[in-house]
Amino acid sequence: MANQVYIVPLRNDLDGVNMQVTDLRPNTSQHNLIYDGEGQTGYLKWSMDVPGTTVVDGDSFAGGSTFTKPITAVSADDTTGGGNDVSVAGVAEFGLEAYLRDRVHVNPGGNDDSMTPAEAALVATDIRAAAAAGTAITLAVVNASLNANLAGADNDLEGTNGTSFGTIEDILKILGGQVYRVRALSIISDNTDAWLGLTARQVIVDAQTPAQILSQGQFYAQGAFLSSGDPGFRNVRPILRSGYVNISNGTGVLAAYKAATFGWQNPNFAYNAADVTVLRPRATGISGTAVAATGVGAAFALYDHLGNAL
């Protein structure tokens, strides 16, 4: 959305902090549902999820991280019963790496590949590092990472040079706490691992007959964000760009949460390696670096819909 801003949590220890944004308008508890639109004040209740193992029940999120890492390699499969014709995600996977592999066409006009798990992890690491530094996550920045980490050239997120179909806003949604899922049997490429764009995938999915679905399984053309009622769904309040946001970001509540001097220690987390237990994980930042022993470090970063840091 062109007037939306994205609040990106930079730490995994923010749950239970009761961090509220109180200086935006309309106030959520006082707004008029007809005239004022979506309430803007409220708790920033989502911590960053540390990339790691995801526990699934079929295609449903059952526990662990909503940023599956590592994702698994695609494997050849058969949509019709007549022999392998596609390569698919073998299990449901979630988050940024899964999104990038699902959506990015590697070296269009050359190798025409899909991303390997290692390549997806490298690009995701670059994106998280930019968020940690509070720098831009624009299309130019992401495309530069794609071309630095993927084979060949002309790699781009949005499909200018091939049939990629990602967006910067999707990446910001994922970083902001919304959960993206690639189901098991989601088509990524053909049976030789040559990339298939969304249109080609949809043709294959639409061609499956009820009998083939029963015998071979339901295949999917793309992943999607979880919605209300799905296990693991996170209801992230949309924040719209306004003068109130600009003021809060400059001198108000958002500015305080973004500041490198922000300090907080959550009693459920450890801030020294010696204090880590099964029940008290290490407080960690979005780039994988441990939060300082003092608990000081920015809580959030703020981006416009183009990925410019605010």
User: What pLDDT does 30 receive?
Assistant: 55
**Cα distance from N-terminal residue to C-terminal residue, the chain:** 16
Selection from 76, 72, 33 nearest residue 56 by Cα: 72
Answer for the pair 274, 36: CB distance below 8 angstroms, yes or no: no
pTM here is 0.94
Dihedral sign for Cα atoms in the order 195, 197, 200, 205: positive
Selection from 87, 69, 70 nearest residue 78 by Cα: 87
User: What pLDDT does 35 receive?
Assistant: 57
CA angle 268, 269, 272 (to 5 degrees): 145
User: What pLDDT does 21 receive?
Assistant: 81
Tokens 């840091």 sit on residue: 309
Answer for the pair 5, 296: CB distance below 8 angstroms, yes or no: no
Selection from 38, 24, 59, 49 nearest residue 238 by Cα: 38
Three-state DSSP class for residue 101: helix
Per-residue pLDDT of the chain (310 residues; tens, 9 = 90+): 678 999 999 999 988 777 788 777 666 555 555 555 665 566 676 778 899 999 999 999 999 999 999 999 999 999 999 999 999 999 999 999 999 999 999 999 999 999 999 999 999 999 999 999 999 999 999 999 999 999 888 899 999 999 999 999 999 999 999 999 999 999 999 999 999 999 999 999 999 999 999 999 999 999 999 999 999 999 888 888 888 888 888 988 889 999 999 998 999 999 999 999 999 999 999 999 999 999 999 999 999 999 999 9
